Amino acid sequence: MSSLMSKPVGLRDQKKAETRQTISHVATRLFIERGFENVSVDEVAREAGVARKTVFNYFLRKEDLFFDREEELRSLVRAAIADRGEQSPVRAFQALMRTLLKTGHPIFRMSDRPIQFWRTVVESPALTTYARELQVTLANDLGEMLADAVDRPRADPDARLAASMLMSALVVAYGDALRAFRVHQDPVEAFVRVMEHGFAGADAAVAGTPYV
């Protein structure tokens, strides 16, 4: 009885995920083609075949339609730190980032598409502001996860410092990888070089703490 009743729930969740992805893909395509400020939520809804209300059921802000992997990244990091075993929380985070890069996860994908994506961000004041806010938010969230992992206060400066340095390393590494891709150099090599330098800096900054 319970197994029979669980199937519709799974189908509903799958349908919701598919609808969310469709809306996001349509929005991203329109924003890249025409510019963020030149596309309305109504147009996104119409193109995706859903109601305007449905769009806001999945995305709180118009900007969220473009930056739609925020919660996925949080979930991956949260799981990696929770399941780290004997690793320190910072090492677990670093290992996850290396794995995502090695496996070609969309978060770190290097192709023409991300270049178009970030060009759209640069050309939009709203998206540029949101991207900066998102970086700060993710760093704050990572700091809290690190602090929770070692039973320290969430405002612990060592956790905040480590998180800020780790996130900054990834942002700079990703930017340099896209630059390398544009000039026909190896983007992964560029990413790894900057990322590992940043990770080493973070390790040094919180050496002697339970975070490393």
pLDDT of 76 strictly over 90? yes
6 and 110 inside one domain: no
Residue after which a domain boundary falls, among 60, 83, 103: 60
The domain in which residue 134 lies consists of 70-205
The three state secondary structure string of 101-169 is: HHCCCHHHCCCHHHHHHHHHHHCCHHHHHHHHHHHHHHHHHHHHHHHHHCCCCCCCHHHHHHHHHHHHH
Given a cut of 60, whether residue 4 has pLDDT beyond it is no
112 or 163, higher pLDDT: 163
The arithmetic mean of pLDDT across residues 39-66, rounded, is: 96
Are 175 and 97 part of one and the same domain? yes
Total number of domains constituting the chain: 2
**Is the domain of 45 the same as that of 106?**
no
- pLDDT band (50, 70, 90) for residue 1: very low
Residue 52, domain member (yes or no): yes
Asked whether residue 175 falls in the same domain as residue 130, the answer is yes
Question: How much is the mean pLDDT over the chain?
Answer: 92
Within-domain flag for 177? yes
Give pLDDT tens digits for 168-211.
Answer: 999 999 999 989 988 999 999 999 999 999 999 999 999 999 99
Whether 126 is in a domain gets the answer yes
Residues sharing a CB contact under 8 Å with residue 85, sequence separation 6 or more, in sequence order:
none
Residue 166 has pLDDT above 60, yes or no: yes
Domain match, 55 and 74 both: no
Whether residue 115 is found in the same domain as residue 167: yes
pLDDT band at 8 (very low <50, low <70, confident <90, very high): low
At 110-138, the pLDDT tens digits run: 888 888 998 899 899 999 999 999 999 99
Does 192 lie in the same domain as 126? yes
So what's the pLDDT on residue 66?
Answer: 93
> SS3 for 207?
coil
Is residue 65 assigned to a domain? no
Q: Does one domain contain both 21 and 125?
A: no
Mean pLDDT of the region 1-23: 72
Pair (53, 106) in one structural domain: no
